[in-house]
């Protein structure tokens, strides 16, 4: 069965899509934790980092993040987060990178 994010990528579920290319789709998180909170998702459905093939759409996540951060005006800084597994807080089993910005971000994260 298609993941929630595949359904968004296929336009079966609405989302505020801010960027897409041949490899990734990015949309605003439905429950943002920062003024800018965007999820960058590879089109290829992989459950998470632990299941990654050696090559694939996930290799384009960072380049997409740079372009989106520039477009969002995040020149002061931003954070990229991938939660892998339940213990790290992953709730959607389709690899995704959070792009967070627009406020100061504490370190270490919780």
> Residues with catalytic annotation?
96
Q: For the CB of residue 56, give the shortest distance to ligand AMP in the complex, in Å.
A: 19
Q: Which is nearer to ligand AMP, 4 or 59 (CB)?
A: 4
Q: For the CB of residue 48, give the shortest distance to ligand AMP in the complex, in Å.
A: 9
Site for ligand AMP in 47-66 (CB under 6 A): none
From 9, 15, 26, 46, residue interacting with ligand AMP (rule: CB under 6 A):
15
User: Residues 57-64: contacts with CB within 8 Å, 24+ apart?
Assistant: 57/23, 57/24, 58/95, 59/23, 60/21, 60/23, 60/24, 61/24, 61/97, 64/19, 64/21, 64/23, 64/24, 64/26, 64/40
Q: Does 89 bind ligand AMP (CB under 6 A)?
A: yes
From 31, 104, 107, 109, residue interacting with ligand AMP (rule: CB under 6 A):
31
From residue 104, give the alpha-carbon distance in Å to each of 8, 76, 87, 90: 29, 9, 25, 23
Residues that bind ligand AMP (CB under 6 A): 4, 13, 15, 27, 29-31, 39, 83, 89-92
């Amino acid at each position: 069965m298609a993941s929630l994010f595949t359904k968004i990528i296929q336009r079966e579920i609405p989302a505020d899509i801010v960027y897409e290319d041949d490899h990734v789709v990015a949309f605003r998180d439905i429950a943002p934790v920062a003024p800018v909170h965007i999820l960058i998702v590879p089109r290829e459905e992989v459950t998470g980092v632990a299941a990654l093939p050696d090559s694939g759409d996930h290799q384009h996540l960072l380049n997409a993040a740079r372009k989106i951060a520039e477009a969002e005006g995040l020149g002061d800084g931003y954070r990229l987060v991938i939660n892998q597994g339940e213990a790290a807080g992953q709730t959607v089993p389709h690899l995704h990178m959070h792009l967070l910005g627009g406020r100061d971000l504490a370190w270490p994260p919780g």
